[in-house]
Amino acid sequence: MSEPTATAQRVAVVTGAARGIGAATARRLARDGFAVAVLDLDETACADTVAAIEKEGGRALAVGVDVADAARVESAVARVAAELGPPLVLVNNAGITRDNLLFKMDEADWDAVIGVHLRGAFLMSKAAQAHMTKAGWGRIINLSSVSALGNRGQVNYSAAKAGMQGFTKTLAIELGKFGVTANAVAPGFIVTEMTAATAERLGVPFEEFKAKRAAVTPVPRVGEPDDIAHAVSFFASEGAGFVTGQVLYVAGGPRG
């Protein structure tokens, strides 16, 4: 398999990168030497992530895209290829929650979560893999979750995150012969705006919410976005070329 020349800067794409895990991952990959396309639904919301990367001397591009829209995904990936270079690392991080118990959940909330997580990962991977297979080198890293193992009030999210694991393993089988690996990172409780919103929905102060989660985690703390970014960095590295189809739980224990 051929590889990009040593002098060519590889390009990474991170979806949902305006904040939280996505932003931390984009910054980490930039520090690893990648030029980074920072994708999110609102392009202007990506400005802080791009600025942080550029402040450290990296290259970054903000791109607005709805990952569940096929035409917009194709356009976004084409723009990245034209302005930064062919995307050879893809981190499918974009996600939303629409939590509720099964009997209260409506079809729109089911469809929205499945659409962003699974359809979005499918569309982004399909578009990006064309560049990876052509180069003979690529990395796809999908964000799953401990919720893939089941979580009350998250039947849509749990189904989507479990689906991401099957999706990852199939990508590994199909793309391995082209020099492309596919792996998943499954976070436990991570301090983000999303988990803060969950605490608010439950009527629990966020500090109390975090303390309760830390108390039942073998590593007695909650996770930070950089914990996930570090795991993604490994899967994106040259050294991870013989690791594919794996799901790494970064949760402070067997189940965070």
Q: Which residues are catalytic?
A: 157
DSSP 57: T
- Give the Cα separation of 240 and 194 in Å (integer): 30
H helices present in 56-192, as ranges: 70-83, 107-114, 120-135, 155-175
Cross-sheet strand order for the sheet of 138-143: 60-64, 35-40, 11-14, 87-92, 138-143, 180-187, 247-250
DSSP 179: T
- Give the Cα separation of 12 and 251 in Å (integer): 25
For the chain, counts of helices (H) and of strands (E): 9, 7
Contact, 105 vs 155, CB < 8 A?
Answer: yes
Backbone angles phi and psi of 38, in degrees to 5: -100, 105
Contact, 95 vs 144, CB < 8 A?
Answer: no
Radius of gyration of the chain (CA): 17
- Give the Cα separation of 119 and 130 in Å (integer): 17
